[in-house]
Amino acid sequence: MGGDRRRHRDNRPMTLTASASLRDETRLLERHRQGDAEAFGELYRQFETMVYNLALRMSGNPADAEDITQETFVRAYRHLKKFKGKSSLKTWIYRIAINCSNTRLRKRGQRAARQVDDGEARLERESDGKRSPEERAVATDLSEAVRAGLEELPAHYREAVLLRDFEDMSYAEIAQILGVRIGTVRSRIARGREQVRQWLETRI
């Protein structure tokens, strides 16, 4: 139980990546403060996919995801010199991305857009080649159903579930990103999962 959580999505041990990335972050920030134009480019390449995916899951729409990603990095660029390092750079950027996503969702009325991402579908089809047909069928059905269920959630439940289960973050990290207490995070994750579970029960 929870064994998957101890390894990051790219399969690197969390403890090693954390210390390495902390050193990298410090160096990156120092270079940026000294006016190295390349430093922010590196930061962008490092977090681009992560931010884009979070934005895509939050908005459910590739076009919105692109806009949210751009807005996130523009804000990060503007405020990076003021970043004090109280949290990790990753947490800080996640927080910006969540704020940008919520701003976009507020403008649109909270719900994620129901729009199938062609690129995502293609990539999912390609990655399915590594699985057995049975696994593929189960994974496709389950992921698709869960994705649809996530889109039904209110934004504050959706972001908590995504940060926990998709980004594999601890409750403490999520609390830091969302700016809420751990008890609130616990509650949002539980209620979000429960809503998706009930949604799946009525449809599967």
Which residue, 24 or 66, has its beta carbon nearer to other proteins? 66
Residue 24 makes contact with other proteins by CB under 8 A: no
Is 169:163 a contact under the CB 8 Å cutoff?
Answer: yes
Quick one: which segment of 18-26, 28-36, 83-91, 147-155 binds other proteins (CB under 8 A)?
147-155
Residue 14 makes contact with other proteins by CB under 8 A: no
d(CA 71, CA 191): 29
Which residue, 57 or 90, has its beta carbon nearer to other proteins? 57
Residue 110 makes contact with other proteins by CB under 8 A: no
d(CA 69, CA 49): 9
User: How near is the Cβ of 201 to other proteins at its closest, in Å?
Assistant: 7
d(CA 69, CA 126): 24
Which residue, 111 or 186, has its beta carbon nearer to other proteins? 186
Select from 29, 39, 57, 60 the one that contacts other proteins (CB under 8 A): 57
Distances (CA, A) of 54 to 12, 50, 132: 20, 6, 28
Residue 68 makes contact with other proteins by CB under 8 A: no
Query: Which amino acid would we find at residue 168?
Result: D
- Cα-Cα-Cα-Cα torsion 117, 118, 122, 123, nearest 10 degrees, comes to -30
Residues 6+ apart with CB under 8 A from 180: 188
Residue 42 makes contact with other proteins by CB under 8 A: no
Residue 143 makes contact with other proteins by CB under 8 A: yes
d(CA 156, CA 146): 17
φ, ψ of residue 88 to 5 degrees: the values are -75, 160
Contact footprint for other proteins (CB under 8 A): 1-2, 4-5, 9, 40, 44, 48-49, 52-53, 56-57, 62, 66, 69-70, 73-74, 77-78, 103, 117, 119-120, 123-124, 127, 139, 142-143, 145-147, 149-150, 161-162, 164-166, 168, 170-171, 186-187, 189-191, 193-194, 196-197, 200-201
